[in-house]
Structure formats: structure tokens, C-alpha cells
A and B are shown apart, each in its own frame.
Chain A
């Protein structure tokens, strides 16, 4: 595979170095049949080092996951060998089924078919609260 020459697909650029594999897993890319490259530690003028994921197929990726895990990444949509769209992904205002509420008193603890919805309530401190019970999401 020539990692530089994608005809129709997606290039996720400006990934913080070391987060490429984590995003690959979180985006469920291991389930895809298409050609995918994770390129680690690419020299970058802006970032020093960065990771890149190249997907050689016209699939959709969950930009909420991207924005939540690594705000600042860029998603380039490639069609016919050209970049037709460039999206800068920031911290999403709303997350659906990306993180899960751990509050045992929350309705989502007994009704598991409900979508897990979180709202960004404090951008500076990256605080997400459950839309149902308002519990703050803690990583650990």
C-alpha cells in the first residue's frame, strides 16, 4: 500500500503522537475490511511529532469520539485523489454513546437501551455531565 495515495477515503491528521492506536481501537476500525494505515511519530512542524490514520475507503468515522479523545485532530475527506473537505475537530458539545454514566442512581443504570448522552458543561475544565442525572463524568 502506498500510504500517500488514497483515492477515496479519510485521512485523520494531527493526532497527538501516541494516540493513533487508541483512536483506531475506539473508532472500531479493526472491524473494517478496507486498507487502513496507522502512521506513528510523523515529523510535524506544528506538533513536533504526530500520528496519522489513513483509511482507504469511503466510511464514516465518529467525530464525537475523535473530538473527545483528541480535540485538535483534522479529518480530511478524499475523493478522486483530492481533499474535498477538511474538518477541524474540537471538543464536542454533546456526546452520544461515547462515554457511559457510572451513577448507580441514574435511570441509565436500569434501562440499558437508553442512549448515553453527555453534555459539555465546562469547556475549560472539560467537564461532561450526564443528560439524565447530571453526574459529572470521571475518567477513572
Chain B
């Protein structure tokens, strides 16, 4: 079984820092990397549509000089014919050198990794894991702040179902001096097992509030998330809550000058477009960092050295 990335915890903090260093080196000297994966093929197997994640992986492979085999309609091809994830993984192992898989079922990329003879990257499995999003987040924090420790990190929006938030908490909890500020409506609070088994288990502090503006001055990072319609049973609750945590220039008044505003994108209206030109807005940098981290990850899993 090749080395795969299924869960952000599969990587040690040292490995994450190495990936960030590689990403920074790619940014500094992209030419050095432009042919490094020549002759290698990435298969993108997307069993549910996620155009932006797929494009990020494909752009990453092309910028490394590699090629892409794309099965963007995986759901309508192999799975529809009743092929198992295991068989798909074994088949694609014959054609490609590395797989990026997105699947609506939780654990499907792990099944692929257990059966493929090539590395598998989890590109999102339902509401479960999405480790390359977390790599993009960590790279952004590291580049903007120069460190991954001693930060007050505000997480705002849907903290109950938001997998990006849970993985980011998992990843940041391994560093010292992190303080989490959890900002959400009562209905969408962070599940208690994340607070207990992750934050407190690492001896870290957190505070919980429904008032974004009140905690704004403390924050070094503000991570906004989308409140998804499908999380609600009735439309009324959704409409009432979705607008509760919209970031506007007014709400930013008390914020630090070097606050780093993040969002996993796509946004609906959680961040007013009026903030896009604010130098503290980092969400499009996150997209770019995501591509560089995917490049660094592909190189690592293919064991390609510069």
C-alpha cells in the first residue's frame, strides 16, 4: 500500500511544515518545478461534482509538468454500473500514478487507498474529511502570520456540520498557544466531542459566543464558513440564521490591523464583497495556496525530490 492522504492526521506537524516550505519554494521559483512530474499522471475521480477542487488538483499537476486523466462524471460511469470503489481503485492504478478522489460516501477514499497500488488523496468524502482544504488553510495562516502557534483563531458560522472547521481544529490543536473562539448560533455550535476529545485533550483553551463583533478585537484569524441550506429542516430557520453571521465592514471596525480573514469558498453571502479589497481578506490567497500545497503534496506522495 502506497502512502496516501486520507485524513489531515495522517501527516505529522513536521511533514506539514515541510509541505509549506515546498509550497513557498514553488512560489519563489515555479520554473524549478515546471517539469518535475513529467511523464506522471494524476487521475481525478470525482463521484460528486466539485469543479473548483478538481480544477485545483488538475492545475497543480499541470504546473508540475504532469498529465491528468479526468473522470469527472464518475458517478454516471463506473459506480452507476455497480462497480465497487475497490475495483475502480485497482483499475485506475493500472493507468495513473496517483489518484485524487472525491466521493459522497464517508470513507470511500480510504477504501480506495486500501486497494490501490498508487497513492490516493482524499479530495473530500461527504461531510467527513477534506485534508487538502486544511493544508490550504494551514499554508495561508503560516504565510500570513509567519507561524502556526500562539494564535487566537475565531471560527464563525456552521461549526456543527462544517467539516473544514473540524479538520482545522484537529490540525491546529497540535500546536502550542492556540486559543479558539467559537462563534455560532446556538443551533450550530461545535459538537462537544470536538471540544473534549480534541481541544481540551491537547490542553488548549476555547471560548464560545454568539456575538461576532464582541470578540472581533481579540482575533488573529477569522475563519468564516457557510451556513448550508441542506442542514436545516425548515426554510424559516435557515433564512433566520444564514444572515446572522455576515461579515461586513462595520463588523470589522474593532478588528486588528493584521487580522487574517479566511473562508473555504464558495461563499454565498457570509462575507460582504465590500471586504474583498481589504488587505486583511485572505480567502482568494487561500485558493492559490491550496494549489501550491496540492503541488507539494503530489510531489511528496510520488516521492519526487527537487
> B107 at interface (Cβ–Cβ under 8 A)?
yes
Chain B binder among A31-39, A72-80, A127-135:
A127-135
How distant is the Cα of A113 from the Cα of B82 in the complex, in angstroms?
13
Would you call B106 and A131 a contact (CB within 8 A)?
no
Would you call B107 and A131 a contact (CB within 8 A)?
yes
Q: Main secondary structure on chain A at its contact with chain B?
A: loop
Q: With A131-B110, A132-B110 known to touch, is A107 a contact of B103 (CB < 8 Å)?
A: yes
> B248 at interface (Cβ–Cβ under 8 A)?
no
Interface residues of A in 89-123 (CB under 8 A from B): 103, 105-111, 113-114, 122
Contact of A113 among B84, B103, B104, B108 (CB under 8 A): B84
Would you call A130 and B84 a contact (CB within 8 A)?
no
Would you call B84 and A132 a contact (CB within 8 A)?
no
Which residues of the other chain, B, contact A109 by a CB distance below 8 angstroms?
105
Q: Main secondary structure on chain B at its contact with chain A?
A: mixed
Contact of A108 among B104, B107, B197 (CB under 8 A): B107
Would you call A132 and B85 a contact (CB within 8 A)?
no
Would you call A105 and B127 a contact (CB within 8 A)?
yes
Which residues of the other chain, B, contact A135 by a CB distance below 8 angstroms?
106
Interface size on A, residues (CB 8 A): 18
Interface residues of A in 24-63 (CB under 8 A from B): none
Closest to A133 in B: B106
Closest to B109 in A: A107
Would you call B126 and A111 a contact (CB within 8 A)?
no
Would you call A134 and B128 a contact (CB within 8 A)?
yes
Q: With A105-B105, A133-B128 known to touch, is A111 a contact of B85 (CB < 8 Å)?
A: yes
Binary CB contact string for chain B from 125 to 158 against chain A (1 if under 8 A, 0 otherwise): 1111000000000000000000000000000000
- Shortest CB distance B8–A (Å): 13
How distant is the Cα of A136 from the Cα of B111 in the complex, in angstroms?
19
How distant is the Cα of A106 from the Cα of B111 in the complex, in angstroms?
11
- Shortest CB distance B264–A (Å): 20
Would you call B111 and A105 a contact (CB within 8 A)?
no
Q: With A133-B128, A134-B128 known to touch, is A106 a contact of B84 (CB < 8 Å)?
A: no
- Shortest CB distance B127–A (Å): 7
How distant is the Cα of A114 from the Cα of B127 in the complex, in angstroms?
20
Would you call B127 and A132 a contact (CB within 8 A)?
no
Contact of B106 among A107, A113, A122 (CB under 8 A): A107
Would you call A105 and B110 a contact (CB within 8 A)?
no
Closest to B7 in A: A134
- Shortest CB distance A103–B (Å): 7
How distant is the Cα of A107 from the Cα of B110 in the complex, in angstroms?
10
- Shortest CB distance A140–B (Å): 18
- Shortest CB distance B82–A (Å): 10
Which residues of the other chain, A, contact B111 by a CB distance below 8 angstroms?
107, 111, 114, 132
A105-B126, A111-B111, A134-B106 are known; give 16 further A-B pairs, CB within 8 A.
A103-B106, A105-B105, A105-B128, A106-B106, A107-B106, A107-B111, A108-B107, A110-B105, A111-B86, A114-B86, A130-B107, A132-B107, A132-B108, A133-B107, A134-B128, A136-B193
5 CB < 8 A contacts A-B: A106-B106, A107-B106, A107-B110, A111-B86, A132-B110
